């Protein structure tokens, strides 16, 4: 049974208070302070350098659906990257996801879909092989993404949980671009159940590991900012025999495994 997540609202324009430049300065200072607070919470005292080359964010400037904002992270200098983080500064739980790349990964891009609750900076942080952190930022206008209710009962929303699909497309050179889809409501604890009229307790996919044959491709740590029915994109180098094996687990002890064979090569 399909879940129909209702995007609560489109992005809103908020009225400017006072002359534009003043309001912008105040807003910027507030956002910078928030980033300092959030990044310290997530990364501790580690230094994070801005970059415009190591990692780039593709995000809509205004979300079409705040509960489903597609984000692409591109890492052109892929060989240096061992992991990437996505942080949505103003969200109730800003840490959205962490991708950790294994030896079979092609860490040149990842895709995910997130919930965004209010106008916010979105930070992407790349971690290089030597443990240094570099960040890029994009501003996204969205509101209500975290409170957007599922349109159906909790039971219906959990129907078919853990079912997975994978699609593959030729990537750059020999790498394959994979899209992993997992059925899961990713309840974030802030959504009112329209039937019971109480808040549905949080229950979300928090860990996914992907391997190809004996090699790790990527593991993903996710949090409540990831949209329901998560869809992740990543690339990998299919050396040797497969299959692709995915293991997913959620915060309530749910555990699912599925293997996928690569599409047959045409001759």
144 binding another protein? (CB under 8 A): yes
60 binding another protein? (CB under 8 A): yes
Site string for another protein, 202-221 (x = CB under 8 A): --------------------
The one among 42, 138, 202, 231 contacting another protein by CB under 8 A: 231
Q: What is the DSSP string of the chain?
A: ----B-------PPPP-SSHHHHHHHHHHHHHHHHHHHHHHHHTT--EEE-SSS-EEE--SB-SSTT-EEEEEE-TTGGGEEEEEEEETTSSS-EEEEEEE-TTEEEEEEEEEE---SSEEEEEEEEETTS-EEEEEEEEB---TTTPPBSS-HHHHHTTTT-EEEEEEE-STT-EEEEEEE----B-S-PBPTTT-SBPPPB-EEEEEEEETTEEEEEEEE-TTBPSS-EEEEEE---SS--EEEEEEETTS-EEEEEEPPPPPP-
2 binding another protein? (CB under 8 A): yes
The one among 12, 23, 137, 262 contacting another protein by CB under 8 A: 12
68 binding another protein? (CB under 8 A): yes
169 binding another protein? (CB under 8 A): yes
6 binding another protein? (CB under 8 A): yes
164 binding another protein? (CB under 8 A): no
Site string for another protein, 174-193 (x = CB under 8 A): -----x-x-x--------xx
Residues that bind another protein in the complex, under the rule CB under 8 A: 2, 4-13, 15, 58, 60, 64-65, 68, 70, 72, 111, 113, 144, 147, 149, 151, 165, 167, 169, 179, 181, 183, 192-195, 197, 229, 231, 233
């Amino acid at each position: 049974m399909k879940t129909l997540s209702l995007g609560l609202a489109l992005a809103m324009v908020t009225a400017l208070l006072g002359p534009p430049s003043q309001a912008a300065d105040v807003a910027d200072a507030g956002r910078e302070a928030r980033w300092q607070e959030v990044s310290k919470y997530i990364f501790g005292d580690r230094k994070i350098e801005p970059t415009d080359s190591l990692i780039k964010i593709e995000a809509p400037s205004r979300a079409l659906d705040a509960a489903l904002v597609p984000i692409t992270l591109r890492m052109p200098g892929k060989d240096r990257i061992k992991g990437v983080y996505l942080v949505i500064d103003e969200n109730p739980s800003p840490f959205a996801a962490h991708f950790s790349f294994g030896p079979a990964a092609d860490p040149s891009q990842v895709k995910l879909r997130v919930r965004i609750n209010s106008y916010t900076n979105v930070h992407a942080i790349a971690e290089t092989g030597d443990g240094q952190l570099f960040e890029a930022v994009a501003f996204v206008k969205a509101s209500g993404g975290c409170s957007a209710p599922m349109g159906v009962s909790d039971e219906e929303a959990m129907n078919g949980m853990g079912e997975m699909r994978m699609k593959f497309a030729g990537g750059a050179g020999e790498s394959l671009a994979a899209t992993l889809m997992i059925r899961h409501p990713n309840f974030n604890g802030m959504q009112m159940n329209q039937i019971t009229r109480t808040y549905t307790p949080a229950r979300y996919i928090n860990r996914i590991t992907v391997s190809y044959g004996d090699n790790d491709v990527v593991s993903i740590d996710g949090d409540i900012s990831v949209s329901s029915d998560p869809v992740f994109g990543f690339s990998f180098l299919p050396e040797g025999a497969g299959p692709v094996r995915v293991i997913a687990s959620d915060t309530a002890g749910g555990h699912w495994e599925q293997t996928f064979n690569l599409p047959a090569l045409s001759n």
